[in-house]
């Protein structure tokens, strides 16, 4: 079990285990049970598990958001090791991205809508850091949670291009008993808002149920979801869309589709999604 900060030290370790398979779970820390289950799954897939902890300034639109992002390296390290990690890589900001860094990758067009539209520049920051981490960690597989569905689609497109040997694994969103996806943002809700937010998974589930009953017309599925979300007028819906799972293009008929949701409740921006199988 090791906590490594320096890129050179990490690369030396990686060389020393060159003949073993490595599963990689990239994170920005603030680990919760959703991350723990990604790490536990990683440990079943490969000989070794690397977890990275790096709060990536490049993907934050707002400097205050970046400054206030929760950081507790020691507790994240312990949580990672307990969940099954062998090495936690927490690189120094300067080493990964020196102050004059400006070589951002351009994400694929999958990044254009939804989160990409709401958060300009966000996905360029995400693919730039993940590409850099993939170069250093050289994993066999990389594991992500489905909670950030569009993020994983954007990373997969980058990885297919630049790291074709790395297998991207998407694991189902881990939910709390009230149905809300586990996330550092959901944790910011007050008790009262949290109760109201439960309408989000209910709306997604209602769409999935209708779909399972044979309704495939996207506009019908979408209006069912909006009807349920409308029960809590304090939720400001940014988008609720039925899109194709790979391209994230909107579809008239929901086959191999996923429902994407984003909204704001009590000043907290929430996203969620559900696959329509």
Residues forming the active site: 35
Q: Are 261 and 200 in contact (CB under 8 A)?
A: yes
Q: 88-127 mask for ligand PAF (x: CB under 6 A)?
A: --------------------------------------x-
**Dihedral pair phi/psi, residue 118, rounded to 5°:** -75, -30
Span near ligand PAF by CB under 6 A; candidates 20-28, 90-98, 110-118, 167-175: 20-28
Both tokens assigned to 18:
């060159």
Question: Smaller CB distance to ligand PAF: residue 59 or 193?
Answer: 59
Q: Tokens in use for 164?
A: 């074709």
Residue pair 262/225 in contact (Cβ under 8 Å)? The answer is: no
Which residue, 59 or 218, has its beta carbon nearer to ligand PAF? Answer: 59
Among the residue ranges 15-23, 24-32, 36-44, 76-84, the one whose residues contact ligand PAF (CB under 6 A) = 24-32
Spatial separation of the C-alpha atoms in residues 146 and 77, rounded to whole Å: 23
Q: Least distance (Å) from ligand PAF to the CB of residue 26? A: 4
Segment 241-247 long-range contacts (CB within 8 Å, at least 24 positions apart): 241/114, 242/207, 242/218, 242/276, 245/275, 246/153, 247/110
Q: Does 158 participate in binding ligand PAF (rule CB under 6 A)? A: no
Q: Are 251 and 242 in contact (CB under 8 A)?
A: yes
7 three-class SS: helix
Should residue 148 be labelled a site residue for ligand PAF when binding is judged by CB under 6 A?
A: yes
Q: Is 27 in the site for ligand PAF (CB under 6 A)?
A: yes
Considering only CA atoms, which of 1, 24, 35 is closest in space to residue 183?
35
Smallest distance from ligand PAF to CB 158, Å: 11
Specify the residue for token string 């029960």.
231
CB 214 → ligand PAF: shortest distance, Å? 35
128 binds ligand PAF (CB under 6 A): no
Nearest approach, Cβ of residue 145 and ligand PAF (Å): 8
Minimum Å distance from CB 184 to ligand PAF? Answer: 9
x/- letters, 54..83, toward ligand PAF (CB under 6 A): --x--x------------------------
Cα→Cα distances 246→149, 194, 258, 271, Å: 10, 31, 9, 18
State which residue, 28 or 81, has the beta carbon closest to ligand PAF.
28
Residue of 4, 22, 23, 28 interacting with ligand PAF (CB under 6 A): 28
Helical spans, DSSP H, in 187-258 = 191-197, 199-212, 218-229
For the bound state, the minimum distance from the C-beta of residue 96 to ligand PAF, rounded and expressed in Å, comes to 11
Please report where in the chains the tokens 């189902």 appear, as a residue: 172
Applying CB under 6 A, the residues found at the interface with ligand PAF are 26-28, 56, 59, 126, 129-130, 148, 151
């Amino acid at each position: 079990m090791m906590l490594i900060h320096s890129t050179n030290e990490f690369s030396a370790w990686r060389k020393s285990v060159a003949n073993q398979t490595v599963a990689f779970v990239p994170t920005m820390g603030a680990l919760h049970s959703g991350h723990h289950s990604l790490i536990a799954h990683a440990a079943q897939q490969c000989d070794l598990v690397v977890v990275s902890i790096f709060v990536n300034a490049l993907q934050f639109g707002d400097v205050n958001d970046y400054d206030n992002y929760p950081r507790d390296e020691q507790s994240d390290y312990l949580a990672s090791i307990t969940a099954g990690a062998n090495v936690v890589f927490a690189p120094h900001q300067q080493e990964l991205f020196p102050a004059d860094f400006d070589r951002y990758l351009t994400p694929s067009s999958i990044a254009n809508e939804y989160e990409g539209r709401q958060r300009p520049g966000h996905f360029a920051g995400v693919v730039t850091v993940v590409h850099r981490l993939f170069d250093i960690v050289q994993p066999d597989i990389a594991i992500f949670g489905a909670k950030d569905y569009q993020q994983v689609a954007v990373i997969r497109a980058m990885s297919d291009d630049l790291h074709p040997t790395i297998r991207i694994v998407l694991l189902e969103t881990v939910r709390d008993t009230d149905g809300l996806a586990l996330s550092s943002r959901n944790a910011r809700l007050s008790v009262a808002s949290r109760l109201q937010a439960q309408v989000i998974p209910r709306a997604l589930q209602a769409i999935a149920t209708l779909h399972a009953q044979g309704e495939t017309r996207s506009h019908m599925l979408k209006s069912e979801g909006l009807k349920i979300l409308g029960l809590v007028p304090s939720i400001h819906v940014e988008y609720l869309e039925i899109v194709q799972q790979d391209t994230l293009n909107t579809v008239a008929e929901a086959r191999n589709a996923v429902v994407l949701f984003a909204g704001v409740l009590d000043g907290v921006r929430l996203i969620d999604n559900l696959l329509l199988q």
